[in-house]
A and B are shown apart, each in its own frame.
Chain A
Amino acid sequence: MHKIDDEKIKSIIKKHQSDPQIRLTASEVLHTYEVRQAQKLKMRHEKKKIWWFVPSTFSLAAGLTAAIIFVMQPQGEGSSVISESSIVYQAEIPGGKDGEFIFMTASALAFSDTDNLALIFNPDLAKANNSTSTNFSTIEETLDYTMPLVETFTQASSGLDFTVDEGEFVGEYATYQYQIQLNNELYVFCNTTFDKDDQEETETEISGELHTGTRVYQVDGEKEVDLTDSETDLKINVHLSNTRTIAIQSENENHEQKFSYSELENDELISEVEIKAEVEEGQYSLSVQAKQGGNQHQFEIQVQNSNSYRVLTDDETIEVTVTGHHRYTYQHMGPHN
């Protein structure tokens, strides 16, 4: 068998190697860096704050970032405020439907950001706890997973403050055109591509990466807007690991919004949650359908206030009280009328 003589080749190359003639100096780099920083600072002072409900320019990008920022901001107990305008407002945003986009992306993480978040991101911990990430065996277990989505929905009317920069941003996986940032630890790099833009329909693709502290997650998706009836379809994938993805789809039509969340492991469906939002006389309710393996639950949720919700299943009424960040207590009230 032929033995590879690695060292011989190394020594040949090294023997002939010479230091490159680099004229660039550290002081030149520092000078250019300082000049650019000064320019950026100036621009930042001139830049107005962008709120997620002022959407058009960075439609997808801003929505994505806002969503991520929204999810990652500390959500103190009782910090959310339910506004009658939240759902109605999202339905009324002309064209952009950024509220919807925000909700989708935010909720992708909210979907994972239950007590089991650590299990999803940290398989070792999952092994230690001898637990899987999703379990819809009982109504309470199902609510544990769906209530963060509901809370995210009701909190989506909050304003968000973030900056969007255009340039060339070097990420873990590629270089991107946009950077959307809340603070040093939370930001998104992304590119958007208009695939199709005609009089009847527009299609936009987004690809990027979400940086949260030391973690980076790849995100991709697409948005289709039918300009003839303002119907919007959105699809987003948040890749939590090489094998695990949260895929979200949204349909928006006639002031009704339907969201479906699929948790995929190696492209196989692990669980699926579908939420339909309806507005009636300024009040909104959510219909939820959750499936996992052979388990399936269907119920409606009425929002009482930021800390309490009423769940109506076929058999009973359950009062839900928010006791902490994605923590709930359930009171079974018996059959409803």
Chain B
Amino acid sequence: MEDTRQEILIALLSKMQDGDLTVFDEFFTMTKNALYYSIIAVLRDESMSEDIMQDAYIRFLENVRTIQPNKNPLGYLLKIGRNLAIDYQRKQQKESYLEEYENPDVYGAVDPEGDDDFERIQAKMQEILRPEEYEIVILHVINELSHKEIAEILKKPLGTITWTYRNAIKKLEKGLSEYAQD
């Protein structure tokens, strides 16, 4: 991630830790897309993403004073979002089991026929990649997190992240070949 972006986020965190929430608007603007994609990477479904985003920001604010100062707060925020998404997914799994059994294509995927170009490419990536590969690609390519930052968020060794990412890219080289000709 860009150093300057990180520095700004740390400065905003510092102000929020001092009780100045007027800077939250700026913090929100700088982080909302990353949080959104982190949640989507887990859920693969955007219908609940904004509710989870809201909860994640509230948890963030509730715990803002306990966050390590001078450390990029985006990692912490994404971790909260990811945990909430996983929790939501677990709860949904029980409820959706029967429905999914009857129609497995409906759940947990971006619409492959969607109008949005990016939706289509996301759907293709989900088709090609395993869930953990997809999540790492989203965090690295879209959210521009370093492999080290991803390792911290996913609580996995750095080597595992690098290895998984390389495998994912290999698969995408083949799977996204049609887009390469654009």
Cβ–Cβ contact A9 & B141, under 8 A? yes
Interface string of A2-40 (1 = CB under 8 A from B): 101110111011111111101111111110110011000
- Nearest-CB residue, chain B, relative to A19: B33
- Nearest-CB residue, chain A, relative to B55: A168
Cβ–Cβ contact B180 & A211, under 8 A? no
- Nearest-CB residue, chain B, relative to A211: B66
- Nearest-CB residue, chain B, relative to A2: B170
A131 beta carbon closer than 8 Å to chain B: no
Cβ–Cβ contact A9 & B84, under 8 A? no
- Nearest-CB residue, chain A, relative to B119: A18
State A9–B141 Cα separation when bound (angstroms).
9
State A30–B64 Cα separation when bound (angstroms).
13
State A19–B50 Cα separation when bound (angstroms).
14
B23 to chain A, nearest CB (A): 10
Q: What residues of A have a CB within 8 angstroms of the CB of B59 in the complex? A: 170
A170-B80 contact in complex given A13-B141, A17-B142, C-beta closer than 8 Å: yes
State A54–B50 Cα separation when bound (angstroms).
41
Cβ–Cβ contact B172 & A32, under 8 A? no
A15-B54 contact in complex given A4-B170, A214-B68, C-beta closer than 8 Å: no
A170-B24 contact in complex given A6-B169, A9-B169, C-beta closer than 8 Å: no
Cβ–Cβ contact B182 & A9, under 8 A? no
Which listed residue, A6, A16, A24, touches B53 by the CB 8 Å rule?
A: A24
Give the interface centre of B40, B117, B125, B172 by most chain A CB atoms within 10 Å: B172
Q: What residues of A have a CB within 8 angstroms of the CB of B155 in the complex? A: 173
Cβ–Cβ contact B83 & A170, under 8 A? yes
Which listed residue, B29, B137, B176, B179, touches A26 by the CB 8 Å rule?
A: B29
Which residues of chain A in 210-230 are interfacial with respect to chain B, using CB atoms and an 8 Å cutoff?
A: 211, 214
Cβ–Cβ contact A4 & B50, under 8 A? no
Q: What residues of A have a CB within 8 angstroms of the CB of B176 in the complex? A: 9, 12-13
A184 beta carbon closer than 8 Å to chain B: yes
Cβ–Cβ contact A168 & B87, under 8 A? yes
A22-B33 contact in complex given A15-B182, A32-B54, C-beta closer than 8 Å: yes
Q: What residues of B have a CB within 8 angstroms of the CB of A37 in the complex? A: 62
State A37–B64 Cα separation when bound (angstroms).
13
State A36–B179 Cα separation when bound (angstroms).
46
B19 to chain A, nearest CB (A): 12
Q: What residues of B have a CB within 8 angstroms of the CB of A33 in the complex? A: 57-58, 61-62
Cβ–Cβ contact B121 & A16, under 8 A? yes
State A24–B24 Cα separation when bound (angstroms).
13
State A77–B142 Cα separation when bound (angstroms).
55
A185 beta carbon closer than 8 Å to chain B: yes
List the interface of chain B (C-beta within 8 A of A): 21, 24-25, 27-29, 32-33, 36-37, 40, 46, 50, 53-54, 57-59, 61-63, 65-66, 68, 79-80, 83-84, 86-87, 116-118, 120-121, 125, 137, 141-142, 155, 166, 169-170, 172-173, 176, 179-180, 182
State A36–B54 Cα separation when bound (angstroms).
12
Interface string of A289-329 (1 = CB under 8 A from B): 00000000000000000000000000000000000000000
29 contacts between A and B (CB under 8 A): A2-B170, A4-B166, A4-B169, A4-B173, A8-B180, A9-B169, A12-B176, A12-B179, A13-B125, A13-B137, A15-B179, A15-B182, A17-B118, A18-B117, A22-B32, A22-B50, A29-B24, A29-B28, A29-B61, A30-B21, A32-B54, A33-B61, A170-B59, A170-B84, A172-B79, A173-B155, A174-B83, A184-B65, A211-B66
B165 to chain A, nearest CB (A): 8
A16-B169 contact in complex given A29-B57, A32-B54, A32-B58, C-beta closer than 8 Å: no
Cβ–Cβ contact A24 & B58, under 8 A? no
Cβ–Cβ contact A29 & B54, under 8 A? yes
Cβ–Cβ contact A22 & B25, under 8 A? no
State A196–B19 Cα separation when bound (angstroms).
46
A79 beta carbon closer than 8 Å to chain B: no
Cβ–Cβ contact A18 & B116, under 8 A? yes
